[in-house]
Structure 1
Amino acid sequence: MHSLTKTALSFNGIGWRCVSLNRFSETRIICRGLTCAAEHGEHKNELYDVIISGGGMVGTAMACSLGLDPNLEGKKILLLEAGNKKVMDKVPDAYSTRVSSISPGSVWDACSDALITFDKENLQDEMAYIVENDIIVAALTKQLENLSDQVRVQYKSKVVKYTWPKSHQVADAIPWVQVTLANGQTLQTKLLIGADGPNSMVRREAGIPTVKWNYDQSAVVAVLHLSEPTENNVAWQRFLPTGPIAMLPLSDTESSLVWSTSHRHAEELLQLDEESFVDSINTAFWSNENHSELVETAGSLFRTALSVLMPSAGSARQLPPSVAGIGPKSRVMFPLGMGHASEYIRHRVALIGDAAHRIHPLAGQGANLGFGDVACLTQLLSQAAFNGKDLGAMQHLLEYETERQRHNLPMMAAIDLMKRLYSTNAAPMVVLRTFGLQATNTLPAMKAQIMAFASK
């Protein structure tokens, strides 16, 4: 079997950088100076400086990030991972359906020809990469095999109860968070980090309110085989009246599909035979059936006016690759929604990733928001340790909450607005969308600002 080179991300204590991964050989993330963890033993009532409840991409990245920070050297850190290590550190033989990305790409409206193209002329370096979630998890899990006293990992661990610290004035008060596992272990920690996903038990048991709603949409994901090999380095997204459809590059011959649509349509797509499913994808990307003469005329006039005002602006239009087939058993669907915790912190508790925020996948920002949480919290805990402060104290946890909410809330609001804005094909709204896309595409400074914000 030939080797396919993939690209993933590593955390260097400041930000994420690219690491080349060989698809069918040893996969790892380079964490310089990282001391990571081990299989668990029996450590009943043991006190940790930090316990991370929940693994996956964000929780495991949090463990590695804390482990590599020199100011946290000597701190006792535990990662509670519900998954099986033997499964998690295995790189699948074929491309998997779940990917994370913020990529240079083209975005356009199915109800008109208006589009925004983010290309290399707008970028000094790549904005990000398409990476399979399984690859990231496997890479981080392999790194955790380096036995160390710095980070301990307990796989196949299930939390059944959290006991929160009470006031020191109360007799027999518990000063730390207690974590009770299904195997009977009771652990204590100065700081509990909840990385246990959108249905977070940490968030729920801490009594942190969450604003959430469902979109009445599901996402259909699949691995796509392209009609012919191509320099497949562009992420494509088109806004259909039923929801956005995106094609994300994996290799010269394969891409990943994320098609957000109604629950009923999603179920219909899953039931189609492969040929009909492929035809539906190509039609969704290429069809002009939703165009109207009014919108085309208005868009043409506005585009002409922009070309007169800014003759050198804008980008040449590209066309997406056509699809010839799909990977075996790669079609799955999952419901979509939005959620945001009103607080990211409590005394000795912090939420990261989907435990704090859940967004629509149309902008590919979910995992990246979580990695941003990791970077921010690591920096603040590092500074607290350097200053000899209590890691679970509210002072720096409040800084974490403030900084991340200032970034996450505008991003989430923009994504939600975009989702609702493109959920209609009413002519007046389509005309406004067309003008907005065309204007943005001719303004390099505005596109640079959009990309800079998305890359934070």
Structure 2
Amino acid sequence: MLSFLRASSRANLSPYHVVIRTLITTENIVESAPEKKLYKKDPPVSSSEPSDSALPASGMSTFGEQFPHYDIVINGGGIVGLSFLLYLQQSPFLSDRKILLLESQKDRPPVNLGELINQERLLSNRVSSLTLASKQFFNNLDVWSNLEPYAKPTRSMHVWSTKYSKGITFTPHRISFVDNLIKDSRCHIPGDDNLCYIIENDIILAGLRNKIRSDCIRFDSKLTNVDAIPGDTTVELTLSDESKITTNLLIGCDGYNSFVRQSSDINYFDLDLSQSAIVGTVQISKESDLDENDVAFQRFVPHNRNVLALLPLTQNFASFVLSVPRNQVNGLMELSDEAFVNLLNENLFLDANVSKNQSMLSFVTNTCDSLLEKIIPSDAASSLPRINPPQVISIEPESRASFPLKFGTTLPWMVGTVKGGDKQKCILIGDSAHRVHPLAGQGLNLGLGDAEILGQYLDEALSNGQDIFSDNETSQEQLNQVLYNVERQRQFKLIPMMTAIHTMQDLFTYLPSNVFTAFNKLNFVKNEIVRFANSR
């Protein structure tokens, strides 16, 4: 078994890191285009009376000054940061700790999700696909009941390249002997016969913010400097208003351009994919009056290397993500709505001719397909979710937006030392540690997995009587062990998942369709893929 124990020097990369590093190069990250907001103003946290945990102690600065001290400081109030904060507030072992979340946005009035469901509104162009594990996480946080009315159940996903009829259909996970071995109940929820749920990001944020105590959040506050305190186990943080605080543990969930990461010794490798994603909301055709619009579609178009995904949002509307070469994005964004709808339908329905240089490979895969048909019973093949993919009827005005696509990772490391310090005092979760192509719909799920696993390990340490937040070397060693345990467990999930996502486009684009026909009959393999996607 590979050892994940960290050496004193980071010169020796782990075998897993070699795999990742061969896939990527170092390059600067560019800012993404602003999303179209569902709300005129961002929904905030509902107010509540300050709790004891919000009242900080005092920490000693570099010059002996006393500054407010927190056991945990979370930098970033996105979905991952708010989910982690809510986990801490609801934990019997962490709720009484001194916790602070720094959010650069200003506080806004709360949004009543119960009333919003009956109001006519524009759908957001930023959505996420939530796995059953993420749904269960939100359910444990007592948030899912507020999100569920807005979450569109998706019962299957059909993926194809050359021909729609020769694709792969993924269906909900079925319990197998593998589940009995690993005993991960998050892969299958009794009574939930869905593959995933599609939901707007703004709805998730509103649900979380309405649940969280606002006294633990400092709004309109940005982290500007991070300093290690010599001879101390705490970290000194400088905020945008020039005030200072100290903390035992700094958690970076501040996005792919993470300030916490830049202030640490954690190396970041990223690759410009030379692609951009165009997102928006479209109205689609229904196969019949009984069509529930509960199937997600994704096509890897061979002749232009586009990737088009249609994700169901409501009975008649879907969210689309179109990945295109970056040199084409400006021209596509300037198209009229009618011309852009025609482009989407071409990417859905146009049959691509298989090039001649694939003829030998096609012969091999055809032979394998014939052999598999003799081995595998005919009823093992999954039927198409519908006869044809849906046709795009219209696009919602001004819903189109674009942003560049990047691949980035700090793996195999998530834990680091503040620059100038000698103690492991920070950990990265979410996009600050890993950024992936949206084609697999796993970005947010990976970040929520980070938050859940980190919370569970902190919970476990405190429940075992460990004093991981005291200002002494023993506590520092115990906290280090907790962080390394989180890092090690997430490596088993993140490294294979990110490797698969990074190679998926070439795999689906260039392999002959007969390979997918044969693969579609391997229900056990497909079931295990769905199981892994739902695992933590």
Q: Is the 8 A contact 1:88 1:137 kept in 2?
A: no
> C-alpha separation between the residues in 1 aligned to 2:370 and 2:125?
41
Q: Tell me if 1:183 matches 2:241.
A: yes
Shift of the 321–38 alpha-carbon distance from structure 1 to 2, 3 Å rule, reads farther
- 1:74-223 map, 5 Å: 74-86=96-108, 89=111, 93-101=121-129, 102=131, 104-110=156-162, 113-120=165-172, 122=174, 125=192, 126-144=194-212, 146=213, 152-166=216-230, 168=231, 174-223=232-281
Alignment of 1:383-394 (within 5 A): 383-386=460-463, 387-391=465-469, 393-394=479-480
The worse-fitting range, judged by mean Cα deviation, of 337-346 and 221-230 is: 221-230
Q: Which amino acid aligns with 2:415?
A: I
Contact 2:362 2:514 survives alignment (8 Å): no
Q: Is the 8 A contact 1:217 1:335 kept in 2?
A: yes
Tell me the matched-pair count: 410
Confirm whether residue 313 of structure 1 aligns to residue 372 of structure 2: no
Give 1:243 deviation, angstroms. 3.1
- 1:161–1:134 distance in 2 versus 1, CA, 3 Å: same
* TM value normalised by structure 1: 0.82
CA deviation vs aligned residue, 1:313-344 (integer Å, no higher than 9, x gap): 11112322111111121101110111111420
Amino acid at match of 1:315: S
1:40 and 1:154 in contact (8 A); partners too: no
Query: Does 2:481 correspond to 1:395?
Result: yes
* Counterpart for residue 353 of structure 2: 290
Say if 1:353 and 1:265 are closer, same or farther in 2 by CA, change over 3 A. same
The reply on whether 1:326 has 2:405 as its aligned counterpart is no
Q: What SS is found at the alignment partner of 1:78?
A: strand
CA contact (8 A) 1:89 1:137 kept: no
- 2:56–2:70 contact (8 Å) kept in structure 1: no
Which residue of the other structure, out of 419, 427, 435, is the alignment partner of 2:505? 419
Instruction: Find the aligned partners of 2:172 and 2:495 in 1 and give their Cα distance.
Output: 28
Residue 292 of structure 2 corresponds to 231
Q: Assess if the C-alpha contact under 8 Å between 2:104 and 2:219 holds in 1.
A: yes
Pair 273,199 (structure 1): closer, same or farther in 2 beyond 3 Å: same
Which structure 2 residue ranges, 5 or more long, are not aligned? 1-37, 44-49, 59-65, 132-153, 176-187, 417-423, 470-475
| Cα distance between partner residues in 2 of 1:121 and 1:373 | 22
Q: Distance in 1 between matches of 2:54 and 2:203?
A: 21
**How far apart are the structure 2 equivalents of 1:375 and 1:121?**
21
The residue identity in structure 2 corresponding to 1:115 is G
**Residues 188-234 of structure 1: CA distance to partner in whole angstroms, max 9, x if unpaired?**
11111000100111011112111111100000001011134731111
Whole-Å separation in 1 of the counterparts to 2:415 and 2:460 = 18
Q: Is the 8 A contact 1:40 1:153 kept in 2?
A: no
1:280 has 2:343 as partner: yes
Structure-2 separation of matches of 1:84 and 1:303: 58
Q: Secondary structure at the match of 2:380?
A: coil
Q: Which runs of 5+ in 1 are unaligned?
A: 1-22, 29-34, 169-173, 424-428
Helix, strand or coil: the match of 1:379? helix
Aligned equivalents of 1:455 and 1:158: distance in 2? 34
**1:232 aligned partner, one-letter code:** N
2: distance between equivalents of 1:179 and 1:266? 40
Task: Evaluate the alpha carbon distance shift between residue 290 and residue 42 of structure 1 in structure 2; reply closer, same or farther with a 3 A threshold.
Answer: farther
Distance in 2, Cα, partners of 1:121 & 1:408 = 20
Contact kept, 8 Å, 2:238 with 2:244, in 1: the verdict is: yes
Local SS of the residue matching 2:108 = helix
Partner of 2:491 in structure 1? Answer: 405
1:303 is displaced (CA, Å) by: 4.5
SS in 2 for 1:370: helix
Distance 1:260 1:287, change over 3 A: same
Cα-to-partner distance string for 1:94-146 (whole Å, 9 max, x where unaligned):
111111115531111136753110125858632320111111111111112x4
* Amino acid of the structure 2 residue aligned with 1:109: S
Contact kept in structure 2, 1:278 and 1:325, CA below 8 Å: yes
Q: Cα–Cα, structure 1 residues 143 and 156, in superposed 2: closer, same or farther, change >3 Å?
A: same
Residues 59/430 of structure 1: CA separation in 2 closer, same or farther (3 Å cut): same
SS at match of 1:276: helix
| Corresponding position of 2:4 | none
**Distance in 2 of aligned mates of 1:327 and 1:299:** 42
Q: Post-superposition shift, 1:302?
A: 5.1
Q: Distance in 2 between matches of 1:377 and 1:39?
A: 21
Task: Indicate conservation of the 8 Å contact 1:111/1:292, yes or no.
Answer: no
Give how far 1:187 is off. 1.0
Contact 1:80 1:157 in 2 (8 A): yes
- Select which of 420, 423, 443 maps to 1:366: 443
Contact residue 56 and residue 69 of structure 2 kept, 8 A = no
Change (3 A) 1:94 1:299: farther
Cα contact 1:111–1:290 (8 A) shared by 2? no
Contact kept in structure 2, 1:36 and 1:143, CA below 8 Å: no
Provide the rounded CA distance (Å) in 2 between the counterparts of 1:37 and 1:58. Answer: 24
Q: Is 2:54–2:100's contact at 8 Å kept on the other side of the alignment?
A: no
**Structure 2 CA distance, aligned partners of 1:215 and 1:141?**
34
